[in-house]
Structure 1
Amino acid sequence: MEQNSIINFNEPLVPRYPKIQTNLVYAFKDGCPLTLNLITPPIPPNVKAHFPLLIYVPDIDEHNMVKIDERFAQMLEIAKRGYAVALVSYRTTADVTAMVKDIHSATRFLLDHAFKYDLDPYRYLLFGEGLGGYLSSLSILDQGQQRSNDEDVRRSPLRYKGGLLLETSLTPHPFSGPFLSELLLQNSQKLPPILILNGTADHTLTDKQATELLTTIQARGSEVSLFNFEGATLSSDAFFTPYSLDFLFEFIKHSFTKK
């Protein structure tokens, strides 16, 4: 390129990249702010969007810290497909019930601000990984129970449309709490569609446990599917290849259209 030259570009002006908003405070609890990161798809000029919402509940690390950004790149890929994604932090110094309350508070914050953030307040589901999968399951089971909500469930009810459980823990280790399969057997309420994602090389959820979890949910008469990923561990990108995402989006679309 010659120095001192002038080059004119005539490139498309429509937005191409997702919008990222970090550290949105959704609640103050125990004197500390609780935050989430929100990714929304690009919006063409003069278009009013209402994006379906995936609420992603991360796992924790060896220091019991929420790994809120570990799947950020993968969630960007989901946003590129036309979905908003909220990556939610939660307290890990409290009991399991308090963690579930945090997820419900984050959900209500997003629904209450749906117009501001271009979200569809009627189409939202949970996507939990590891401990986040356990908490997502409890959140779905207890969304209507006042004991698991800081907000009034009668004035602000929640209706999750589905749950994606990626290598979900069946117990909240290292925290104390009930065994997930026992909760499912004790609770008789109708569940939204559930998708279990199992890596065969990971023992957070063993292959046997994944099958038992599938059978337990089926026995309730609820809709559930199990995807096994050969040789995948919890940190694997196999769950988010273009081919894998196609099947995830089929499940998500079905969850949002199911009555």
Structure 2
Amino acid sequence: MTEFFNEPTTEQLPHLSLNHEYLPHHFVHVLVPPTAKFNPLIIFIGDGQEQLHTIPLSRLSAHGFTIAMMAADQLTGDLHHQVGEIKSAIRFLLLHAAQFSIDTNRIFIWGEKRGADLSGMTLFTANDPEWNAEDPRVLPLRFRAGFLFGETDYSKLTAMIPSHKRPALFIYNGELDSFDEACRTQFIKAYRLQNEVQDFILKNTASGTNAFYTPYMLTIIEKQIQKHL
């Protein structure tokens, strides 16, 4: 006897498309939510391909976010060049906004460990010509906020804080991370002079672990994103 199931007939899960080549041998993976509308874009930069956290990020994407994932270990050259490659990836996504259901005016950047360092640099130098491979006047980048998970080189970020106002920053470290507390405090104090910044410590863990991507933590991140849409 045939059984019938009364399941939802609309799409429920985000679609993952892999290996979009934005530069030769440089790839970005994209999670697109099952909605027809244009969604905020989150750029997630993991420390490596094995740390892209695809499963928890797909849960977040299902709530109405296009999430592009890339690994810091595929970037090449010095710091200027790596930041330029990240911006090339973002512009590739913006130029394909219809394909990936992206609202080009609502962009967030989120990085973990080495990706956090690069995310901060990308945010601070968004349209600085020296830090862009393309002419930023043609397709300027406008970030709403940045999320740094497991940042350690706070002295470098402090030296890079622009004199003009930048987007909000949300800083997360694990209690077991190795970082200079004085440098972290100095960075937060310096950034707070002109900008919004909030910092958090997760007890009894280190960045890169699943503790940073539990449903509870993702709910907090989503609320922080919603505040800046």
Flag whether TM exceeds 0.5 (same fold). yes
| 2:172 corresponds to | 197
- Partner-residue secondary structure (3-state), 1:16: coil
Quick one: which of 45, 55, 65 aligns to 1:57? 45
Q: Which residue number corresponds to residue 255 of structure 1?
A: 228
Cα 1:239–1:18 change in 2 (3 A) is same
Q: Distance in 2 between matches of 1:92 and 1:135?
A: 10
Which residue is equivalent to 1:163? Answer: 146
Higher relative contact order (CA 8 A, sep 6+): 2
- What does the per-residue CA deviation read over 1:18-60, in whole Å, with 9 as the maximum and x for residues that have no partner? 10000011123xxxx21100001123xxxx311111100111x
Q: Which segment drifts farther, 19-28 or 73-82? A: 73-82
- For residue 19 of structure 1, the aligned residue among 15, 37, 40 is 15
Deviation for aligned residue 1:208: 4.1
Residues 170, 181 of structure 1: 8 Å contact kept: no
Helix, strand or coil at the partner of 1:169:
coil
Q: Aligned equivalents of 1:108 and 1:144: distance in 2?
A: 12
SS where residue 49 of structure 2 aligns?
coil
| SS of residue matched to 1:42 | coil
Q: Which residue of 2 aligns with 1:34?
A: 26
**How far has the Cα of 1:163 moved from its partner?**
0.4
Two-structure CA RMSD over aligned residues (Å)? 1.9
Q: Is 1:179 equivalent to 2:179 in the alignment?
A: no
Task: Verify: 1:116 aligned to 2:99, yes or no.
Answer: yes
Cα distance in 2 between the residues matched to 1:89 and 1:35 = 9
Assess if the C-alpha contact under 8 Å between 1:128 and 1:136 holds in 2: yes
The equivalent position to 1:223 in structure 2, one of 171, 196, 205, is 196
Contact 1:126 1:162 in 2 (8 A): yes
Residue 10 to residue 253, structure 1, CA distance change in 2 (3 Å):
closer
DSSP 3-state at the match of 2:144: coil
Q: TM-score, normalised by structure 1?
A: 0.82
CA contact (8 A) 1:192 1:255 kept: no
For residues 218 and 172 of structure 2, what CA distance do their matches in structure 1 show?
12
Between the aligned partners of 1:206 and 1:249, the Cα distance in structure 2 is 28
- 2:212, 2:189 → 1: CA distance? 22
How many residues are matched? 228
Q: Say yes or no: does 1:242 pair with 2:225.
A: no
Shift of the alpha carbon at 1:241?
Answer: 2.1
Alignment of 1:93-104 (within 5 A): 93-104=76-87
CA offset at residue 77 of structure 1? 1.9
Percent identical:
27
Q: Assess, with a 3 A threshold, how the Cα gap between structure 1 residues 233 and 106 changes in structure 2: closer, same or farther.
A: same
Residues 68 and 88 of structure 1 are in contact (CA less than 8 Å); yes or no, is this contact kept in structure 2? no
Equivalent residues of 2:113, 2:208 under 8 A apart: no
Matched-pair contact (CA < 8 Å) for 1:68–1:87: no
Moved more, 7-16 or 98-107: 7-16
Gaps of at least 5 residues in structure 1 are 60-65, 172-177
